[in-house]
Amino acid sequence: MKIDFQLILAVGALAVFGTVLQARVAGEAPSLAPLVLGACAFAACACACAGDRVERLLRGRGAWIVWGLAVAVMGALLVFGRRYRGGLYLPGRINPSELVKICTVACVAAWLGAAKDLRDWMRVGAAGAVLAGAIACAGDFGLLAQLVFTGAAMLFVVSWWQGLLAFGALVGGFCLVSLHPVGHLATRFAVWRDPLADMTGAGWQTLQGLAAIVGGGVTGSGFKMGDMDAVPIAASDFVYAALAKDFGLVGCAVVLALWLLVFVRGLKAAAVRARAGETCGALFAAGLVSSLGVQTLLNVAGVLNALPMTGITLPLVSHGGSSFVVTLAMCGALLGLGFDTCPPSPAGSPRRR
């Protein structure tokens, strides 16, 4: 059994950096509670997902239980949810999107891993459509975009041309929506096309973020030197702009490189599971990586105005106690999935411990 220290180091560095940056944006002393809790969640998930445990859990009824949980949470959100600043929250201002995310990845992994004939595929499609419909009803298009991209990536892992087809459909859908955006999507797309059209109104946040990025330059104005008042919602959606203001392009590249390292190590864990013949476990690992990857890319692209703003956060760096802990748990799961319990020996026969 080999422990992936690169993954641990990268995740640890991101978590500590995120905590420090949050404290700096808020102008308070760093709170260590999420860090400690997150470390516990990381270790616990590493143990819980060690080796082939995920595979055994997801084979059989496990997947449907997880799917039911996700649908139940979304249903509860639709029935009991309250609107607060455009988002839908459970009483107590709990945002269950992280939980829904993990459940979705798990059940899609189970179904895709076990799919053998057309009926299986149709079942996957129907169950996924129910979940997607619930999320769309809740109006959380950021989460929907993230999950749909993640699903497409997982499909790609399982089947080359079907994955490409899914990506093609996604791009087509995006073009369709961008031609006829409805509701509050219209504003997002309008800002994306020309943030300067309504610079003191709808484009204000995006432009302030870009102003901070341009102001930060290549090396940034130095830790605590940037004027944080200039960055809107610096703690959550626009944390990348705050990062760019303080540390410049270089700092942003370092953070993104750390995430890339996490992704690569996570995919390595997926490859380990696939080599052991555990399709569901491999897909779960790949799904976790894609989910985190898509989240990172969509957030940063939104801040840079390369894509419309989705309102999703930058994992580990953005504000949010619960999402911080859950993201660390996801990384812990990746670590556990990477435990190589029985690698095939060169001769081809399984080595026994």
Partner 1 sequence: MRPRAKKDPPAKKFRTSPGAWRFAALGGALLVGVVALLVVHGRWLVQGPKDARFMRFLRRYGTRNASEVIPDHGAAVDRNGAALDIAPEGSVFQRVLDACALGAEGGAVRLSIDADLQTTAETLMKRKMGAVVALEPTTGKIRALVSAPRAAYLDRALGGLYPPGSTFKVFMAAAALSNGLEPIYNCPASGYRSGPSTPAICDVEARQAARKGRVWKGFGRIGMGEALMHSSNVYFAQLGVAMGPETFGHAVEVARLRDPVTVLSSADVPLVSAGGGVPDGLRAAQLAPVAIGQGALQLTPLAVAMVTAAVADDGLLLAPTLDEKARPELRAQAFDFAAAGRVKTMMRAVVRSGTGRACDIAGLDVCGKTGTAETGRGKDHAWFTCFAPQKQPRLVVTVLVEHGGFGAEAALPVARALLLKARELRYFDS
| 3-class secondary-structure state, position 104 | helix
Helix (H) or strand (E) holding 87: strand 87-89
Determine which residue in the list 14, 143, 166, 286 makes contact with partner 1, applying CB under 8 A.
286
CB of 352 to partner 1, least distance (A): 7
Determine which residue in the list 61, 120, 176, 186 makes contact with partner 1, applying CB under 8 A.
120
- Sketch the per residue contact string, 172 through 211, with partner 1: x for CB under 8 A, - otherwise: ------------------------x--xxx-----xx-xx
Q: Pick between residue 146 and residue 296 the one whose CB is nearest to partner 1.
A: 296
Distance of CA 307 to the CA centre of its chain: 16
How far apart, in whole angstroms, are the C-alpha atoms of residue 48 and residue 205?
41
Are residues 281 and 273 in contact, defined by beta-carbon separation less than 8 angstroms? yes
Determine which residue in the list 81, 96, 113, 336 makes contact with partner 1, applying CB under 8 A.
113
Determine which residue in the list 114, 130, 177, 185 makes contact with partner 1, applying CB under 8 A.
114
Closest CA to 137 of 93, 88, 91, 184: 88
Q: Could you say which residues in the range 204-263 bind partner 1, by CB under 8 A? A: 207-208, 210-218, 221, 226-227, 229-230, 232, 244-245, 249, 252-253, 256-257, 259-260, 263
Q: Pick between residue 39 and residue 342 the one whose CB is nearest to partner 1.
A: 342
The DSSP string of 34-81 is: HHHHHHHHHHHHHHHTSTTHHHHHHTTTHHHHHHHHHHHHHHHHHHH-
Our finding on whether 264 is near partner 1 (CB under 8 A) is yes
Are residues 170 and 149 in contact, defined by beta-carbon separation less than 8 angstroms? yes
Determine which residue in the list 22, 95, 104, 290 makes contact with partner 1, applying CB under 8 A.
290
Q: Could you say which residues in the range 66-95 bind partner 1, by CB under 8 A? A: 83-84
| Integer angstrom CA distances of residue 161 from 109, 156, 287 | 18, 7, 18
- Sketch the per residue contact string, 1 through 30, with partner 1: x for CB under 8 A, - otherwise: ------------------------------
User: Contacts with partner 1: how many residues (CB under 8 A)?
Assistant: 81
